[in-house]
Chain A
């Protein structure tokens, strides 16, 4: 069965630190990949997505992610976090053509000022 793993459940950083959140998936075929963010008390918001082309994807708010097919990974990065990045981050994978959309368990990021 397809699965999505986010190994970091909680991350605490100081402002201006660099961020990298891991995401690995198990499906071996064509995939579409997403990162969503959920700010406290708010609904899911799309940060970025990959479905083809350049494996380095840039999203909103200075976030980017790199798709490494050989590692089945789609890690999220940001060079310098801000206090306002405090939120929960979810990776999601859609098997191309199969339409099953699966989410990881999420990573709670706390950025201290």
Chain B
């Protein structure tokens, strides 16, 4: 079955450490997204990519980095520069017409 796989589901990080969240899709979608979900703030766009080897900053890109070396993969790195990294992170992809979005199950990151 086609879909988006995020791993891990839960992640704990020590302050000062970088951590990378995985997002893989087998839907052959060009567009992929990373969102951060916090209570009362909805889903805020961190980064998105419309095509391999290209990506754009979203509304809250500071302290995050991404890469898009393969169409199927769009990993997100939460760097030590991110002041408040504890959150739920959601990866998504969008079909070519922009009419259907698919979401991963999310990764809950906790900084300890």
Contact = CB atoms under 8 A, between A and B. Distances in A.
Interface of A: 1, 6, 9, 32, 34, 43-44, 46, 49, 51, 90, 92, 94, 96-97, 99-106
Interface of B: 30-31, 33, 35, 40-45, 48, 50, 56, 59, 90, 92, 94, 97-101, 103, 105-106
Contacts of A96: 98
Contact of B99 (A6, A49, A103, A105): A49
Contacts of A103: 35, 42-45
Contacts of B103: 43-44
23 contacts: A9-B40, A43-B106, A44-B90, A46-B101, A49-B99, A51-B97, A90-B43, A94-B94, A94-B98, A99-B30, A99-B31, A99-B48, A99-B98, A100-B56, A101-B31, A101-B94, A101-B98, A102-B59, A103-B35, A105-B42, A106-B40, A106-B41, A106-B42
A92 B33 CA distance: 13
Given A9-B40, A105-B41, A97 B98 contact: yes
Contact of A92 (B41, B50, B101): B101
Given A9-B40, A43-B105, A102 B45 contact: yes
A6 B40 CA distance: 12
Q: Which of B48, B90, B98, B103 is most buried by chain A, counting CB atoms within 10 A of its CB?
A: B98
